[in-house]
Amino acid sequence: MKILRTIPEVREAVGEARAKQRTVGLVPTMGAFHEGHLSLMRRARQENDLVVVSLFVNPTQFAPNEDLSTYPRDEARDAAQAEAEGVDILFAPAPDEVYPHGFATSIHVAGITDVLDGASRGAHHFDGVATVVTKLFGIVRPDVAYFGQKDAQQVLVVRRVVRDLDLDVRIEACPIVREVDGLAMSSRNVYLDPAARQQATALNRALDAAQALHDGGERDAGSIRIAALKVFKDAGIHPEYLELRDAETLEPVADTTRDTLIAVAARVGAARLIDNHLLKGDA
């Protein structure tokens, strides 16, 4: 596996593969790898000739009060894990390689970024995501890029950028990888002390309660939400948001007859965690 730091090096390495008609898969990440990241790499490895993983803690998607400076970083461990998954190129640029002096462009996706994490973290968050992902697509020019359904709104934002800007890349969303007790894997789980780690299981338990009601035939979004909120109340957690929204448009829904995303964000101990389930509609 090559570790590359500059855009020209990546262009050259990918260009060589492309000249041999090889397919290119990209997995964008912020590092601190766990099984969620590795599942994307495995899928990319199965489906492409060349696998590129980017490792970049993107400063523009963090608000000033967020955890940019403390975000877990361990490039040597990440590199070893990526290599073990058969990744060909780890692109780990410095911030000024991605944002050189004078950088002035931002990609803003309207509408779907106004809600959930866009409302909670502020508009800058998805602007930062959309901009860096668009840059990565321009640098690597992958045939396919792999994202986790854990960040369901991010998948929708990236798909919208690709559609609206006619980018020639296929987006694959991969299932959420969880710990044995159901907690969605996240680089931020390292912030949890033992008590908070236990409390954090409430996110998936609440979503499971919602899922069970839906699977049992309940279709009223308000009733499903109340059942999930009860789990949070019992766990002593006040979610930043807990919402049921149309899985494609992120419009609020009154019922779950169409595919519905139930998404939650909550502060647990020192971590801000997100999770979601897709409630399959009746169509």
Nearer of residues 28 and 239 to ligand AMP, judged by Cβ = 28
Is 34 a known active-site residue?
A: no
Tell whether residue 277 is a contact of ligand AMP (CB under 6 A). Answer: no
- If one asks whether residue 81 binds ligand AMP (CB under 6 A), the answer comes out as no
By CB under 6 A, which span of 41-49, 77-85, 109-117, 182-190 interacts with ligand AMP? 182-190
In whole angstroms, what separates CA 14 from the centre of its chain? 24
CB 51 within 8 A of CB 4: no
Q: Please report whether residue 148 would count as binding ligand AMP according to CB under 6 A.
A: yes
DSSP state of 155: H
> Which value, to the nearest 10 degrees, does the dihedral of the CA atoms of residues 190, 230, 207, 244 take?
-120
Query: Could you give the CA distance from residue 130 to residue 63 in angstroms, rounded to a whole number?
Result: 15
Question: With respect to ligand AMP, which residue has the nearer C-beta, 127 or 151?
Answer: 151
The number of angstroms, rounded, from the C-alpha of 34 to the middle of its chain's C-alpha atoms is 13
Rounded CA separation 183/273 (Å):
10
Beta carbon nearer to ligand AMP, 30 or 242? 30
Question: Residue 170 has which token pair?
Answer: 């296929």
Where does this chain touch ligand AMP (CB under 6 A) — which range of 89-97, 170-178, 211-219, 231-239?
170-178
Site membership for ligand AMP, residue 185 (CB under 6 A): yes
State in angstroms the smallest separation of the CB of 120 from ligand AMP: 16
- Name the nearest CA neighbour of 233 among 276, 208, 202: 202
Select the span of 72-80, 113-121, 132-140, 181-189 touching ligand AMP (CB under 6 A).
Answer: 181-189
From the candidates 34, 37, 101, 238, give the one annotated as an active-site residue: 37
CA dihedral 104, 32, 49, 3 (to 10 degrees): 70
The contact mask relative to ligand AMP for 239-268 (x = CB under 6 A, - = no) is: ------------------------------
Question: Which CB sits closer to ligand AMP, 201 or 223?
Answer: 201
Query: Which stretch in 46-54, 185-193, 199-207, 229-237 sits in contact with ligand AMP by CB under 6 A?
Result: 185-193
The two tokens of residue 99 are 């944002």
Of 131 and 187, which has the nearer Cβ to ligand AMP?
187
Residue 221 binds ligand AMP, judged by CB under 6 A: no
CA distance 237 to 272: 12
Q: Give the Cα separation of 44 and 85 in Å (integer).
A: 10
Q: Which residue from 79, 92, 184, 244 is in contact with ligand AMP, where contact means CB under 6 A?
A: 184
Does position 37 interact with ligand AMP (CB under 6 A)? The reply is yes
The sign of the dihedral angle between the CA atoms of 66, 30, 185, 209 is positive
> How many whole angstroms from its chain centre is CA 31?
12
| Residues 45, 48: Cα–Cα separation, whole Å | 6
Per CB under 6 A, the list member of 85, 143, 151, 243 interacting with ligand AMP is 151
Min separation Cβ 150 and ligand AMP, Å: 4
User: Which of the 8 DSSP states describes residue 27?
Assistant: E
Give contact residues for ligand AMP (rule: CB under 6 A). Answer: 29-30, 36-37, 39-40, 147-148, 150-151, 174, 176-177, 184-187
Q: Residues with catalytic annotation?
A: 37
